[in-house]
Every structure is written in C-alpha cells, then in structure tokens.
Amino acid sequence: EVQVVESGGDLVQPGGSLRLSCVGSGFTLSSYNMNWVRQAPGKGLEWVSYSRGSGSTMYFADSVKGRFTVSRDNAKNSLYLQMNRLRAEDTAVYYCGRNMMGPDDCIDVWGKGTTVTVSS
Amino acid sequence: DIQMTQSPSSVSASVGDNVTITCRASQGISSSLAWYQQKPGKAPKLLMYSASNLQGGVPSRFSGSGSGTEFTLTINSLQPEDFAFYFCQQGDTFPLTFGAGTKVEIK
C-alpha cells in the first residue's frame, strides 16, 4: 500500500525548533516531488513547502521562508521539515503529501498528519 | 499569489440532492485545479485533478469542470458519506493555494 507517515510533532516554545519526519512506503520517495501542507485548528489548508524528487529545487510559503527547510534521506525513504524560530501562528497539523506525477501540482497521497503546538 | 475563492462556504443538502461548489481563481490557471474532500480529524483526500479528471477509486457521482478562472465540483445524488469539507487547490503556480473550503452538511 502506498502511504506516508509523519512524526515529530510536539509542544514547543516560541522561538524554538522542531524537525518533522515523513516516511514513505509502497513507493520510492526520491522519485516523487513532495509537499508539506498545514492546517491550523479550525482553519483551511495552507501549503508550506515543495521539494523536487532530486532535492535540487524547493519552494516555500512566504510565511515560513527563511525559517523552514526541507531535506531528504533517500536511504530511509524519508523527507524532513526543519522548523526554526517557531511562532504561535505555526501551530497546526502538518501533513506530508506526495505530489502527483503529471502536468499539475496536486497531492495524491496524504499522511494522517502530525500536530505542532507553539506555546509558552 | 493566485487567490482561490470558493463558494458557497457552506451548503445544507439532503441525501439524494445534487450539490455544486464553485472555485474562482484570481488569474487564469488553465485546467490546473484539484478538488479534495476532508472529513473531521482526517487528512484530505484527492477527488479530482486537472479540473475534470476523477482520481482512482472516487465514485462517479463526483464530477468537475472548468478552465481558466472558473471551476465547479458537482456531486450528483449526495450520499451520507459525502457530508464533509471540500477544498479546491490551484496547481499552476507556486505558491500552491487552496480555497477556503465548503462545508456540505445535512439539511
């Protein structure tokens, strides 16, 4: 079965750091472009970042640019989101999502999410 | 950034009704539009891609149309399992952007 599983969410103080992990199974993660999408409590979906399969190209939402980075470990079929200088407004469920192969950038496989809470 | 405006924000309907949700892009996105369904506490699920292509395993009562700036998602003969939130998302340009969502609830 094709799936992704996120982990690493936690309660962290403002200004702190956290690293989220996303492990793929049933497919080779390095062959796919990948996304992180978040959803604040009671709110809609907000795209956070995109990483090309090769790892050579990454895009970030303005709201996280300069604070968040993405990396991959192909040997572990994993994707990571390093979040630094966290703010209260980063509180959300973070989803890892596989970009669908094709002309459009949309997400065909979603994880169940991991919860990040930024609070003192 | 491309703004996605979704309407209505909520709709009350009965089992068997037909429901149409509209998504408008602030600039042309060709047919680079996806629709997702999300139930409370669950991850989104891809329903449609490239505006009118049904994702595998999605019932045929779901259909999508549109191009450019105007798109619709139609659910024919609403079923109990269809009561959920629906989001559109443009896949034409980064940053990817989502509509604010439509809640389909039971009348």
Among A51, A95, A107, A112, the strongest candidate for a mutation testing the B interface, having the largest count of B CBs within 10 A, is A107
Cis bond leading into A14, ω under 30°? no
Torsion, Cα B39 B90 B51 A44, to 10 degrees, reads 20
Which pLDDT band holds residue A106 (cuts at 50, 70, 90)?
Answer: very high
Q: Which of A57, A104, A115 to mutate to test the interface with B (most CBs of B within 10 A)?
A: A104
Among all residues of chain B, which has the CA nearest to that of A6? B43
Condensed to tens digits (0 to 9), the pLDDT of residues B7-56 reads: 999 999 999 999 999 999 999 999 999 999 999 999 999 999 999 999 99
According to the model, what pLDDT value does residue A54 have?
Answer: 83
Mean model confidence pLDDT for chain B: 97
Q: Which of residues 72-91 of B touch A (CB under 8 A)?
A: 87, 89, 91
The answer to whether A104 contacts B50, with C-beta atoms less than 8 Å apart, is yes
- Give the number of A-B residue pairs with CB atoms closer than 8 Å: 68
Give dist(CA A93, CA A20) in Å, integer: 11
| A64 and B CB contact within 8 Å | no
Cross-chain residue pair B43–A108, CB shorter than 8 Å: no
The sign of the torsion formed by the CA atoms of B33, B8, A49, A4 equals negative
Residues of B in contact with A106 (CB under 8 A): 34, 46, 49, 89, 91
- Is 90 exceeded by the pLDDT of residue A6? yes
Q: Label residue B58 by pLDDT band (50, 70, 90).
A: very high
Q: Which of residues 27-66 of B touch A (CB under 8 A)?
A: 31-34, 36, 38, 42-46, 49-50, 55
If pLDDT is split at 50, 70 and 90, which confidence band does A43 have? very high
Is A24 a residue whose pLDDT tops 90? yes
